[in-house]
Amino acid sequence: MQGVIKEAILKIEEISMHKPLRIISHFDTDGITSAAIFSRALQRWEKPFTLEIVKNINKEYLDALPEDHLLIFLDLASGSLNYLANKKTEVIILDHHEIVQDIPKNVTMINPQLQKTENCSSAAICYLFARELSEKNKDLANLAILGMVGDQMEKNLNKTYDNIMKDADTIIRKGLLLYPATRPLDKVLEYSSSLYIPDVTGSFKGVVELLREAGIEKTQKGYKSLVELSEEEMSNLTTAILIRRKTKTETSEIIGNIYLTKFFNNLEDARELSAMINACSRMGVSESALGFCLGNKAAKKDAEKTYLKYRQAISAALKSVSDIEKINGKNYTIINAKDRIKDTIIGTVASIISFSPLYPKGTIIIAMAYDNDKIKVSARLTGKEGRNVREILSQAVIPVSGEVGGHPNAAGAIIPIAKEQEFIQELQNKLDLDLIKI
């Protein structure tokens, strides 16, 4: 991948002499951290640019982009190559999503899927680009870690991430996958969305009972944080949670690496920072997320306020899910929220549901929400093994002229609202047919 990064650097150096740079990045945590890394690197390189954070891209959006600019996409556009082939300008894409189209002559791609290297997030790719530009950009490594955690790629570390970890001011601890690991346990357990615990999540009384069962007592300063627990306390708490979840959950599914990284001179849980960045974009204030990543103190305050509102919105959305009529099939559930849940948080809701013990491993969760004249579709696979949800979603989307992207275990799509019932029927047919093949 280093070779194509060098090629992209030379191309930017040459084209920037006579064309301005237009940067377009995705609005999730990986996209925001990618934008922060790339924009800081360009500033230090003294390259003028404009930056736009977007929720998604389509043919109309791409057709309208100026052709007197060098277009650079971050965490986007690997699924839009057919449209970009029509642009009369050079295009550079730094992305990690699957490539299913031919690469046009005007497009330079930095993508581990193409270079057949170890998979990594777009933020990691942008960091490798920045570090190739200058060793001074090593201070951006922490943002690459946040992007990795935001895209849930931290469970399978590889050599690429090992090298980035060496540059990042990050400490790795082993423990329960609850966040923030640096805050008092009682609050973390009560408001946890990463690890659902029946009769505990959302219940202060249930939290106190659980901690008592685990032998963790409240001190004069309050309850300990997760990273302050002894090995015995961590083991007792893990056992108590496994009993409450009442499933065949393996310890390895709820225990993993906790990444503690320096941010604003404090040691913070990378999962919490990642969730805060994601919350800002989902609530329509991507600029606060970007400013937060770049160290702006005012943006940090805005991000914290937005994160609180976001958590309240997620809590309300999860309550709505229980009242929504679902379409259940063999190993799949379709949740059509319509206008009851915001399109910007439907993906988060689908993820939380997929991590809960309510559905057996291998179940495909598909959640839908209205977005003006479109429908946002989010698909998630429970567990680590099962059918390719991006492939299934793609085959159901094509007949209704929608757009799809993502990964085998987490994918998304945009379809016309007029095709709602047709899409659901196509999706059910595909899910049922795919199951028969298995």
- In 3D space, the residue among 79, 53, 171, 73 whose CA is nearest the CA of residue 122 turns out to be 73
pLDDT of residue 193: 67
Residue 45 structure tokens: 């390189």
Q: Taking a C-beta distance cutoff of 8 angstroms, is the pair 142, 294 a contact? A: no
Give residues with Cβ within 8 angstroms of 92, minimum separation 6: 8, 11, 12, 70, 71, 72, 73, 107, 108, 109, 110
Q: How far is CA 296 from the centre of its chain?
A: 22
Give the closest residue to 308 by CA, choosing from 139, 175, 191, 143.
Answer: 191
Element (H, E) at 84: helix 81-84
> Rounded to an integer, what distance in angstroms lies between the CA atom of residue 119 and that of residue 357?
28
Q: Euclidean distance between the first and final Cα of the chain, in Å?
A: 36
Q: What is the pLDDT, as a whole number, of residue 250?
A: 64
Task: List, in sequence order, every beta strand (DSSP E) within 39-135.
Answer: 49-54, 70-74, 91-94, 107-110
Cα 112 to Cα 331: distance, rounded to the nearest angstrom: 31
Tell me what pLDDT residue 313 has: 87
Low-confidence ranges of the chain (pLDDT < 70): 153-156, 193, 246-250, 252, 434-438
Look at the block and give the residue holding tokens 């990042």: 168
In angstroms, the CA 410 to CA 350 distance is 10
- pLDDT for position 438: 47
Note the pTM of the prediction, 2 decimals: 0.81
In contact, 63 and 86? CB cutoff 8 Å: yes
Residue 98 · residue 78 · CB < 8 Å:
yes
Nearest to 175 by CA among 267, 254, 242: 254
Write down the pLDDT at residue 434: 59
Q: Which residues contact 362 (CB under 8 A, 6 or more apart)?
A: 331, 381, 382, 383, 385, 386, 387
Sign of the dihedral defined by the CA atoms of residues 78, 72, 344, 64, in that order = negative
Instruction: Give the number of other CB atoms < 10 A from CB of residue 135.
Output: 9
Domains of the chain: 2-167 (3.90.1640.30), 172-317 (no CATH), 324-437 (3.10.310.40)
Whole-angstrom distance, CA of residue 285 vs CA of residue 159? 34
Going by C-beta distance under 8 Å and a sequence separation of 6 or more, which residues neighbour residue 16?
47, 70
Whether the CB-CB separation of 108 and 86 falls below 8 Å is answered with no
- Interhelix angle for 122-133 vs 2-15, to 10°? 70
Q: Strands of 49-54's sheet, edge to edge?
A: 49-54, 21-26, 70-74, 91-94, 107-110
